[in-house]
Amino acid sequence: MFVDPKIMNRLSTMTQHMVIQLTPKQQEGFWSQFAPQSKDPGTILLVSIFFPIQFFLLGKAGLGIAFLLTSGGCGIWWLVEIFAAKGRAIAYNDELAQRIMMMIKSSNQ
């Protein structure tokens, strides 16, 4: 099964290896669920620089509200977030992948 490398790179290396260990049918189900729900780390980085709503996009509304109310920690938190945004997106995608794999494995038993 062909998977777009851009979508594969949304996952950490460890999670990529876990997905590869699934059967071909399970992989097909995984990618069909993962691709539309995952977040592109590059896009999250750009959003964090120009329109800082990345926390909302990653399902962390509380952090998003705090970030906006403090104006990005008076700019300091915003600078830190520029370097952390891609990692947060990959962590979000890894958690999503774990949930999808658990659902797929439990439905096959």
Q: How confident is the model at residue 109 (pLDDT cuts 50, 70, 90)?
A: low
- What confidence tens digit (pLDDT) does each residue in 28-40 have? 999 999 999 999 9
Give residue 74's pLDDT: 84
- Phi, psi angles (nearest 5°) of residue 7: -75, -40
- Alpha carbons within 13 A on the beta-carbon side of 45: 10
What is the pLDDT at residue 77? Answer: 86
Spatial CA neighbour of 96 closest among 52, 54, 50, 40: 40
Domain residue ranges of the chain, discontinuous segments joined by +: 43-109
Confidence of residue 107 (pLDDT cuts 50, 70, 90): confident
8-state DSSP, 21: T
pLDDT in tens, 42-100: 999 999 989 888 999 999 999 889 998 998 778 888 899 899 999 999 999 999 999 99
pTM over 0.85: yes
